[in-house]
Structures are given as C-alpha cells and as structure tokens.
Amino acid sequence: NAGVMQNPRHLVRRRGQEARLRCSPMKGHSHVYWYRQLPEEGLKFMVYLQKENIIDESGMPKERFSAEFPKEGPSILRIQQVVRGDSAAYFCASSPRLDYEQFFGPGTRLTVL
Amino acid sequence: GQQVMQIPQYQHVQEGEDFTTYCNSSTTLSNIQWYKQRPGGHPVFLIQLVKSGEVKKQKRLTFQFGEAKKNSSLHITATQTTDVGTYFCAGIMEGSNYKLTFGKGTLLTVNP
C-alpha cells in the first residue's frame, strides 16, 4: 500500500505566480488534511477535506488560497499570486476515519523568489 | 487561541543519556499524538494517547498523558544517534475530532 504521495517535492515560483500542490491520499483514505510548516516551527492546520467537500478551512488564509478534493484525482492546494511569505513546506496528511492517526506525505517545499 | 506549548526547543545529549520533552495545552485535550520528523523529512506518527493518566511504552520510548489531559511527555532512555530528529506533540482539543494543534517541537541532537 503506497503512502501519501505529494508532488512536486520542490516548487520555485516568482512573486505573483500561481502554485499548485497535489496530494494523493493513501488507498482507502477519504479524509485529507493540509498543513503548513515554517522553518523551525510546528505544523499549522490549514484545511480538512473529504471527497468533494471542504469540511473545515479555518486555518487557511481567506485570500489567494483554495483547496479541493475532487471525486476523481488528487487533492489540490492552490495559492494564487504567491508572495515571499508563502515560502514554506506544505504537508498533506490522510486518514481512514476521524480521530485516527494521520499519515503524512513527504511534503512540497515552496520557495517564492 | 488554543495553544500547545512544547519545551525545550532544543536538546543536545551524549549518546546513552536520557531525553525528555514536555508538552502543555491551554485547554483540555481529547487525545494527544506524538510525531517524529527527521531533518528534511516529514512527520511520522509515533503514538496516540487517549485516557487520562495513560502511559505507553515503545522500546526505549515512554509516553505519558497527564491526569487533567492537558499535558504530556515523551521520555527516551539511553539515546542513540538514530533518535536524532524533531519530536512534535499534537493535540486534538475536546469538541473536535480531527484538528491537530501542533507544538513547535523539540529538536534532539545526539553526540556519538
């Protein structure tokens, strides 16, 4: 059973461009979570999704950030008009049900020039 | 807002010494989880504690959950170089059943 997949692993964007981060959860997992990690910081919750539904996006900035988890295909975290402060590692995690351990992907390291 | 504080931020030990990291929440937790992240890696789940006063052991690692379900600790006996990494606690607040609030982590380095 493959683990959580994320791509790309590294992404470089210039200010004002768009960043698209992809996450394929583990097989059989319908719960997906996105976290952001700044250097030497803990992970900060951004958004929780189930298939085709955003359940909780309370940790996600209201502007420029959006997330989806379509019926087919990976979950996407989209950042429009990136700024330098968006540079961070973005981790996706999945779980088979609520209140269960979350399995993390390898992360996407976003650098905004 | 709801916070999980973790100390110390850094800990450097000689191989063979013990290590402890402490986690304290501003609110009562329904459960607490511990993760390990190697440099450049991703968080890897270690354990979940649910019950008040619970103690769990994994080889040289001992995890405790406080009686009030607001604090937790991870103790490593006789550290090895393979223990190097950042250890995070992450709590799920009462009333939620999925939102993990992470501490800032303790970076452990081990001198061989």
pLDDT one-digit tens code per residue, B14-52: 999 999 999 999 999 999 999 999 998 999 999 999 999
Q: What is the dihedral of CA A92, B70, B54, B11, to 10 degrees?
A: 70
Q: Which residue in A3, A23, A40, A14 sits closest to A90, CA to CA?
A: A23
Pairing verdict, β A19-24 and A103-104: unpaired
pLDDT at A86 exceeding the cut of 70 = yes
Structure tokens at B45: 């789940």
Query: How far away is chain B from the Cα of A22, in angstroms, using its nearest Cα?
Result: 16
Quick check: B99 and A43 CB within 8 A? no
**10 Å Cβ neighbour count for A28?**
8
pLDDT bracket for residue A41 (50, 70, 90): confident
Chain B residues in contact with A107 (beta carbon < 8 A): 42
The dihedrals phi and psi of A7, each to the nearest 5 degrees, come to: -150, 150
- Chain A: residue nearest B104 by CA? A42
A40: left (phi over 0), alpha (psi -120 to 50) or beta: left
Quick check: A31 and B105 CB within 8 A? no
Quick check: A43 and B48 CB within 8 A? no
What gap in Å lies between CA A113 and CA B68, rounded to an integer?
A: 46
Quick check: B100 and A42 CB within 8 A? no
